[in-house]
Amino acid sequence: MRWINRRPRRPAAIILALVPFVIVIGAYVIASDIRLAENPSDRLTPAPSQIIDTFVMLATEPDRRTGRIPLWSDTWASLQRLLAGVAIAAGIGLVFGLLIGLLPFARAGLAPFAAAISLVPPLALLPILFIVFGLGETAKIVLIVVGIGPFLIRDLSQRVLEIPSELLVKAQTLGASTWQIALRVALPQVLPRLVQAVRLSLGPAWLFLIAAEAIAAEGGLGYRIFLVRRYLAMDIILSYVVWITFLAFLLDYALKSLSRAAFAWFHGGEDL
């Protein structure tokens, strides 16, 4: 049989999915063992047991200076920024996507502009944002909005344009106005695509969040990582990296489940 037609059965598929994880973790454990055997005070590759101890400590013991438990206060601070930025960007993406996708006049006026600003590297704007909005929360949220907003606008306008013209014509013959078509045909059709686009832009959103926190913040996951970098505290950094990855996975999973529950008509088999 050709390889394109061979499919793993369920147990084999699970084992195959685990293999890369096992290899990477195994390689780390071995490397860490070798290095620690040579030099027990080595800080670059802490033993897994030490990473777990550190993680438990970060999640349970209050910081001596602030009195708060670092992992939770950092997570809370970061998630607030991330969710605010992503929500605002999604709202902007949806509104402008509908405008550009549905109205030829809005398309003529806005599409080239949206294409142009999506080429501006957001991180290059970060200093400007700090100057304009100060070092507080606003600049970090705006960075996320500036970072993923243009992508969302372009993606959503494309999705609106892809709505079969038959449906828009049909709605007109049923007496719908432009506004009613936007509300009752285009909006429900692109909402599941909005969730897809937001899922894709969560990665960049984390990137911009951590970059902003690394430069100026009093708390947050990115702040902590870059703070302890000075002491070469690899155990803390690795704990946080795993934790951030887990949070990102949870967010993605939540959006996927939400989409499946809310837009059953959209999920006819295919899925990523």
Partner 1 sequence: MTAVSVHDVWKSYDGRPVLERLNIEVEEGAFCAIVGASGCGKSTFLRLLLAQELPSRGEIRIADADPATEPQADRGIVFQRYSVFPHLTVRDNLIFAAEIAASRTLGRTWGRTRRNLRDEAEATLERVGLGHAAKLCPSALSGGMQQRLAIAQALTKKPKVLLLDEPFGALDPGTRATMHEFLLELWRETAMTIFMVTHDIKEAFKLATRILAFDKVRDDPTDPGAYGATITYDLPLDDKTEKDAFNGPN
CB of 67 to partner 1, least distance (A): 50
Binding residues for partner 1 restricted to 185-204, rule: CB under 8 A: 185, 188-189
Q: Which is nearer to partner 1, 195 or 211 (CB)?
A: 195
Q: Please tell me whether residue 184 binds partner 1 under the rule CB under 8 A.
A: yes
Contact call for residue 174 and partner 1 (CB under 8 A): yes
> How many other β-carbons are positioned within 10 Å of the β-carbon of residue 245?
11
Separation CA 247–CA 254 (nearest Å) = 10
Q: Does 104 bind partner 1 (CB under 8 A)?
A: no
Stretch that binds partner 1, among 36-44, 63-71, 169-177, 194-202 (CB under 8 A): 169-177
List the x/- string, 138-167, binding to partner 1 by CB under 8 A. Answer: --------------------------x-xx
Of the candidates 76, 133, 151, 266, which one interacts with partner 1 according to CB under 8 A?
266
* Of 265, 270, 271, 272, the one binding partner 1 by CB under 8 A: 265
Which residue stretch of 29-37, 49-57, 183-191, 207-215 sits at the interface with partner 1 (rule: CB under 8 A)? Answer: 183-191
Query: From the list 30, 115, 169, 241, which residue makes contact with partner 1 (rule: CB under 8 A)?
Result: 169
Tokens of 30: 């071995």
Q: Does 11 sit near partner 1 (CB under 8 A)? A: no
String marking each residue 244-263 x if it binds partner 1 according to CB under 8 A? -------------------x
Single-letter amino acid, residue 66: T
Positions that interact with partner 1 (CB under 8 A): 164, 166-167, 169-177, 179-180, 183-185, 188-189, 263-266, 268
